[in-house]
Amino acid sequence: MKLVVFGANGPTGRQVTEQAVAEGHTVTAVTRRPDTFPLEDRRLHVVRADVLDPAAVERAVAGQDAVISALGVPYSRDPVTVYSEGITHITQAMTKQGVRRLVCVTSTVLFGVEAPGEGFFFRKVLEPFIVRFPGRTVYDDMRRMEEIVRDCDRDWTVIRPAGLFDTTAVSDYQVADARLPGRFTSRADLANALLRRAVDGGHVRTFIDVRTTEGTPSLLDLLRKEAVGGKK
């Protein structure tokens, strides 16, 4: 299968690319800095493009079977538009090029419900603080992105992971079309969920959660991570 990955040089994008190539797919990895991309393979094509450049996006999308967006930016007090502008260019390019399958990432907080099974401090204090203050501009733009995806005529799936952390292998993770219990999603599991939906075609026109249930970090690790922000 021919796949194009936007945000390919981010932590999740690299995992998606590596897993896809290992499965034998042909991957176009889109990055603004191809000289820093760490992966090489005969089935991998690394291209320089900015998701904010519609012409470059269309060139990357042309001839693909599916599109995976792993776009991510750190928390910022400044307005964020990368998600919404990027997905606008991606969906427009897919329509022009006749590519139907789109899988992309936002966040579990966009389910709009409290974290099930969590204590008072996490549900009422920590998560609302993160959403309203360091993460506000990021989550606002993720919401705009989801509206654009929902309104497009492509075969889309939006994955809403929880707090991201790094592992070396894919686990027996959980998937549901509602918010799942737990605070964390490993990037390996998120990447695998993105890849499976792109290749196998499940959960079309659905928002899904992906949750890691083993080897997860502590609440202190989460606090340290959120203190400095993070990228997908």
pLDDT at 210 > cutoff 80: yes
The answer to whether residues 102 and 149 touch, using CB atoms and an 8 Å cutoff, is yes
Residue extents of the structural domains in the chain: 2-228
Percent of the chain's residues with pLDDT above 70: 96
Q: Tell me what pLDDT residue 218 has.
A: 85
The first and second tokens of residue 51, run together, are 């998701």
The CATH homologous superfamily for domain 2-228 is NAD(P)-binding Rossmann-like Domain (3.40.50.720)
Q: Tell me what pLDDT residue 232 has.
A: 73
Q: Tell me what pLDDT residue 168 has.
A: 86
Q: Tell me what pLDDT residue 55 has.
A: 98
Q: Tell me what pLDDT residue 2 has.
A: 98
Selected residue with higher pLDDT from 226 and 121: 121
Determine the Cα–Cα distance for residues 61 and 149; give it in Å rounded to an integer: 16
Side by side, which strands form the sheet with 155-161?
A: 44-48, 26-31, 2-6, 66-69, 101-105, 155-161, 206-211, 174-176
Q: What is the pTM of this model?
A: 0.95
pLDDT tens digits for 29-38? Answer: 999 999 999 9
- The secondary structure of 70-116 as a DSSP string is -------SS---HHHHHHHHHHHHHHHHT--EEEEE--GGGG-SPPT
